[in-house]
Amino acid sequence: MDVMSAIMGRRSVRRFKPLPVEPEKIETLKDALIWAPSAGNLQSRFFYFVYNDEVKKKLAASALGQKSIVEAPVVIVGCADLTVGDYYRERGIDLYCIQDLSCSIENMMLAAHALGLGSVWVGAFDEVAVAEILNLPRHLRPLAMVPAGYPAETPRPPRRMAPEEAIIEIR
């Protein structure tokens, strides 16, 4: 699938078929995560691929009970790596590692769509609870939870701003 078709055709998918994701597709999702840009190429991010039902239930409970997290065959938890602060100080911790992680997640969601998979970015969760569930080391901050799998729904495109609402040109 070409880049712009993926960018414009990707939707947030919250219902999934009870089918596993093939290992080769999982490997492609990993490549998409890893090949995102990052500040100073420090790659200040780390990921957990969760397939275990008990762990998914706990993650869902930490995220206002979102059912998509339990229903999806795999849930990717994206973490910012705060050791970026050793190099970039506060701007690294408060900004760059969030941007690095976000580029990875967006890459992965586009790749998923191109593979016929659906996914959704879940951002509303209790970070402390997730850190406990996954037994995260102290330098990892969980910032995105992405259930992914074969879609069981076809959402319509949400409204987007027109270019003139979101962009100014300076000539």
Cα separation, 63 vs 133, in Å, equals: 12
Closest CA to 115 of 35, 31, 4, 6: 6
Alpha helices by DSSP H, 18-133: 23-34, 53-61, 67-71, 85-91, 97-114, 127-133
Write out the H or E segment, with its range, that includes residue 164: helix 163-166
Beta-sheet pairing, 118-119 with 140-149: antiparallel
Give the one residue of 13, 21, 25, 36 binding a copy of itself; rule: CB under 8 A: 36
Give the one residue of 90, 138, 154, 159 binding a copy of itself; rule: CB under 8 A: 159
Cα separation, 118 vs 30, in Å, equals: 15
Tell me the closest approach of the beta carbon of residue 107 to a copy of itself, in angstroms: 5
Tell me the closest approach of the beta carbon of residue 135 to a copy of itself, in angstroms: 10
Q: What is the CA radius of gyration of the chain?
A: 17
Cα separation, 68 vs 75, in Å, equals: 9
**Selected range binding a copy of itself among 14-22, 63-71, 147-155, 157-165, rule: CB under 8 A:** 157-165
**Selected range binding a copy of itself among 13-21, 22-30, 62-70, 148-156, rule: CB under 8 A:** 22-30
Asked if 102 interacts with a copy of itself (CB under 8 A), we say yes
**Selected range binding a copy of itself among 13-21, 46-54, 63-71, 147-155, rule: CB under 8 A:** 46-54
The residue ranges that bind a copy of itself (CB under 8 A) are 1-4, 6-8, 10, 12, 27-28, 30-37, 39, 41, 43, 45-52, 55, 91, 94-96, 98-99, 102-103, 105-107, 109-111, 113-114, 121, 123-124, 134, 143-144, 158-161, 163, 166-171
